[in-house]
Structure 1
Amino acid sequence: MSLEVIRSTPFIQLQDGGRFGVRHLGVTQSGALDWVSLYWANWLLGNPLAAAVLEIPLGGLELHCQQDATLALAGADLGATLDGQPLAPWRSFRVRQGQQLKFAQPRQGARAYLAAPGGFEAPQVLGSCASVAREELGGLQGNGAPIAAGDQLRWSGQAEALREVPTSLVPVFGASPRLELVMGAQHSDFSGQSLFDVFNSAWKIDLRADRMGVRLLGPVLQCQRTTMVSEGIPLGAVQVPPDGQPIILLNDRQTIGGYPRLGALTPLAVARLAQCLPGETLQLRPMLQASAQDAHRALLGQWQAR
């Protein structure tokens, strides 16, 4: 079973749940930025939740269906159409041989996730097929290259009956989201005014945003620490460089860093950030680590219960 890529962009990649246990080698995590939408896309087909999917930022993708099949779509509404007919996310759907599947541009959210039965096939590199262009790892050829015109997207699984994500569980990609931040690392080195500003300001997402990190524009944060030894950085880490504008580090981040950190976004907040476009605003709110862990377990339970 396969899809032929007719048109693509340099941002469209094959991603799965990520690459773990290799950061001591200097290899980053990678994987789907919006892991919640990844899980739902795979759940719709009865796949392992971390199976390989297409991550489609901002649209610009056109596919030719070479056989009858069942696929699934979750995440952003990118104006997807099947032979010109609107195709809504958060459900599985059937395609017929010869049909054209297109993704136009964002209507709500930034990244859509397209899944196939059993997951798209690609070589495993260090335990994952997740694409990292910078490190030339993963993807269809194992070299990190993005999806390109002429590529064949193959799978061999069989889909179950058509499914939809329950309306009550569909993530909301509304304006000005509030993202949870677990304080830690060097937060005590920031001035009291800066800590107040962090949680009482609207932060604008800079144009300098990619899979490595997202820069926020807002009040200048002041840190008393001038030097520090580089240390390991987790997903969602909020670094503050000398210009005082925080950077939220994402899946393709470097493995160590030497800027002071306020803490880290929760995994759910990272997934929500992945659906924000440059120019949008967001707010940060503090969350205790224990509360973040409880919320994460509750979220994982919604798939285990189904």
Structure 2
Amino acid sequence: MSSHAGFHVTKPGFFTLLQDAGRRGVMHMGLTSGGAMDRHAWAWANRLLGNRYGTPALEITFGGAAFTSGLNTQIVVTGAEVQLTVNGKPKPLWTTIRVNAGDSVSLSAPRAGVRSYFAVRGGFIVNTDLGNSCATVVREGTGGLHSNGQPLGQGDLIPCSDATPPAANRKIPSQWIPDYHEPLTLNVISCAQVDRFSEAVFETFFDNIYTLSPQADRMGARLTGPALEVADRTLISEGTSLGAIQVPADGQPIILLNDRQTIGGYPKLGAVTPRSLDALAQRPPGTQLRFREIPLPEAQQEERQFLAFFRTAGSV
């Protein structure tokens, strides 16, 4: 690999991170999973290029990023509705694009959605750490280009393979491209602590609209809406799961996300399903949303189908 085989960051944007499928088997060490917030968009970016599931890509929050290619390769940008240009010429999203050494690639601020995913043929070549992952977790100082948890900065060079032959040009079927403007309803499965909430609390939760607070990040999505009463306001701290809906003392629910703390002591009303978290990851503060309870087998089947589809992708 030559010293210039990669993408130079000419404009890092608001918050650009290297992300993969996240860390596994590390929570006992107090480390969170990290990983792509919108797995749907991230996984499609890699699949269109023939990359294996788990291949690192860039997660670009609120756009405004620019890169210069140091090699001839293919890229895909999925997720938020940004204006994607190569050398100033508009290019389609959710579609493989050929770029040459010296080409400039730019992403505007999004018209809809929050996070874009920038993948390259063969994947970015970066070091992995605990959990065999490069997932960037700023709070923990893990992962990323320099294995220190820092976002990408101007002047960084993100290496990638210059020996991978091009794949066939592909684009996603239109029915698989989400509409980030549509009303958002999140699917929820119940959890072991349902007995700590009254029937009236569940009626309040499922019958009302909640709003995504500006206090939302990769750790958790804070919501504002009708307060939820809970019998025991605190518990003995226990392990937390992705999507868990905590109810703190003020009664305003918090959905725990990829960079959550590994333990928590607030009662949990249920958990948002992984596929619904993909949709949540693309909604900005101020978004109104509802919740819908679904049975566990339905959520499990949805996840099995997702993984079965994307894990069949390989280098082609």
TM-score, L = length of structure 1: 0.96
Aligned to 1:189: 196
**Secondary structure at 1:91's aligned position in 2?**
coil
Aligned to 1:155: 160
Say whether 1:29 aligns with 2:49: no
Mark the CA change 1:257 to 1:302 in structure 2 (over 3 Å): closer, same or farther: same
Kept in 1: contact 2:210–2:224 (CA 8 A): yes
Aligned to 2:90: 86
Aligned-partner Cα distance in 1 for 2:176–2:29: 38
Task: Give the CA RMSD over aligned residues.
Answer: 1.4
Aligned to 2:237: 230
1:139 is matched by which residue type in structure 2?
G
Q: Write the mapping of 1:7-86 to structure 2, written as runs, cut at 5 A.
A: 7-9=11-13, 11-86=15-90
Kept in 1: contact 2:23–2:34 (CA 8 A): yes
1:264 is matched by which residue type in structure 2?
A
Q: Which ranges of structure 2 fall in alignment gaps of 5 or more residues?
A: none
Shift of 1:200: 1.2
Aligned-partner Cα distance in 2 for 1:111–1:21: 26
Q: How many residues align?
A: 306
Aligned-partner Cα distance in 2 for 1:99–1:225: 58
Aligned-partner Cα distance in 1 for 2:41–2:241: 21
Kept in 2: contact 1:78–1:110 (CA 8 A): no
Aligned-partner Cα distance in 1 for 2:75–2:55: 13
Shift of 1:305: 6.5
Shift of 1:227: 3.2
Shift of 1:86: 2.1
Mark the CA change 1:227 to 1:215 in structure 2 (over 3 Å): closer, same or farther: closer
2:141 is matched by which residue type in structure 1?
E
Aligned to 1:292: 299
2:208 is matched by which residue type in structure 1?
S
Task: Determine which of 144, 166, 169 is the counterpart of 2:149.
Answer: 144
Aligned to 2:176: 169
Aligned-partner Cα distance in 1 for 2:204–2:183: 16
TM-score, L = length of structure 2: 0.93
**Secondary structure at 2:129's aligned position in 1?**
coil
Mark the CA change 1:38 to 1:9 in structure 2 (over 3 Å): closer, same or farther: same
Kept in 1: contact 2:13–2:66 (CA 8 A): no
Please list the CA deviations of residues 54-111 of structure 1 after superposition, one character each: whole Å capped at 9, or x if unmatched: 0011112111122222111111112222222222221110112222211111112111
Structure 1 segments (4+ residues) deviating >6 Å: none
Please list the CA deviations of residues 6-43 of structure 1 after superposition, one character each: whole Å capped at 9, or x if unmatched: 11135210000000001000010000001111110100
Aligned-partner Cα distance in 2 for 1:158–1:106: 31
Mean Cα displacement is larger for which, 106-115 or 66-75? 66-75
Mean Cα displacement is larger for which, 225-234 or 45-54? 225-234
**Secondary structure at 2:67's aligned position in 1?**
strand
Aligned-partner Cα distance in 2 for 1:219–1:178: 17
**Secondary structure at 1:282's aligned position in 2?**
strand
**Once the two structures are aligned, what percentage of the paired residues are identical?**
41
1:99 is matched by which residue type in structure 2?
D
Q: Which ranges of structure 1 fall in alignment gaps of 5 or more residues?
A: none
Mark the CA change 1:28 to 1:15 in structure 2 (over 3 Å): closer, same or farther: same
Aligned to 1:2: 6
Aligned to 1:130: 135
Mark the CA change 1:159 to 1:185 in structure 2 (over 3 Å): closer, same or farther: farther
Aligned-partner Cα distance in 2 for 1:134–1:159: 37
**Secondary structure at 2:116's aligned position in 1?**
strand
Please list the CA deviations of residues 221-258 of structure 1 after superposition, one character each: whole Å capped at 9, or x if unmatched: 10011331111111111101101110001100000100
Aligned-partner Cα distance in 2 for 1:82–1:222: 52
Shift of 1:304: 5.5
Aligned-partner Cα distance in 1 for 2:72–2:248: 51
Mark the CA change 1:57 to 1:98 in structure 2 (over 3 Å): closer, same or farther: same
Kept in 2: contact 1:77–1:88 (CA 8 A): no
Kept in 2: contact 1:10–1:147 (CA 8 A): no
Kept in 1: contact 2:213–2:223 (CA 8 A): yes
Kept in 1: contact 2:6–2:71 (CA 8 A): yes
